[in-house]
Amino acid sequence: MPAICEVGSWGFGVTSEGLKGLKGKLGLGIGAGNVVRFEARGKRNVGQVLALERGGMRQHVNGKGDGSQGENLHQISTVGNSTNIKWHCCSVGKLDREGLLNQKGCVIWITGLSGSGKSTLACALSRELHSRGKLTYVLDGDNVRHGLNSDLTFKPEDRAENIRRIGEVAKLFSDAGIICIASLISPYRKDRAACRALLPEGDFIEVFLDVPIHVCEQRDPKGLYKLARAGKIRGFTGIDDAYEPPVSCEIVLKEEGREATPPRELAEQVISYLYEKGYLHAQ
């Protein structure tokens, strides 16, 4: 009889024979009531729970199939600076939410220099997907600094924290079944890679707006390059701080002339990718 693993909001079937094989690798243990659990090993080190399915009736640990409260068997964990915490599973998971929305949750991460058109593309993409009946949300780098990240500066350590927080929020939107569009410079590969690592394989779609700095500087919609050249802004990406372009991203949108490609055309290129990969319908 297969066991159903419920980790956060996703699951997979494992035969009893396969379960024995996984026991040593994942730290599996069979507890009372045929509840199978394991302690996730690695940097996250979050205790998770497997529930055994019998006769088509799934037994939930923290919430039973009928919505009533079940016994919480999660082990207490330490994650970062948070101690004595547990991961609480819910009977409604990502696949349920995706089925309701008829789409697959994912993160479209738009990166590029200031003035490359990231925010414009994000809004155009959101509009085009909305017109197709798809639910999206845009996390714009500037917008997020008006609230959640208003306590952060533009020092290197704060810029890294800014990206980390946006990555975590984007992960939540994706888990909700929403197509989350994150638009921010995110100049360093390691920070973008850390955000990618938060999501299941394939659910982080990196879009590189490849626009040369001299074109971005000619556009200079916010007047920031002028201020950076005058020494009034320090650590400005592309001037006195590095931008590390992606080496293996999913989509590259390359522009070389001062006249920008219409945002709708760029958005359609991203939408074509989403169709091809099956993100615009539920599994």
Cα 254 to Cα 127: distance, rounded to the nearest angstrom: 21
Half-sphere exposure of 119 (CA within 13 A, CB side): 10
Burial-class residue 219 by CB neighbours within 10 Å (0-12, 13-18, 19+): middle
Which regions of 211-254 does DSSP assign to beta strands (E)? 251-254
Active site residue 186: yes
Type of residue at 62: N
**Which residues are CB-contacts of 81 (< 8 A; sequence separation ≥ 6)?**
none
DSSP per-residue letters across 43-60:
SS--EEEEEEEETTEEPP
Type of residue at 50: L
Q: What Rg value do the Cα atoms of the chain yield, rounded? A: 22
Of 126, 186, 248, 272, the active-site residue reads 186
| Catalytic site positions | 186
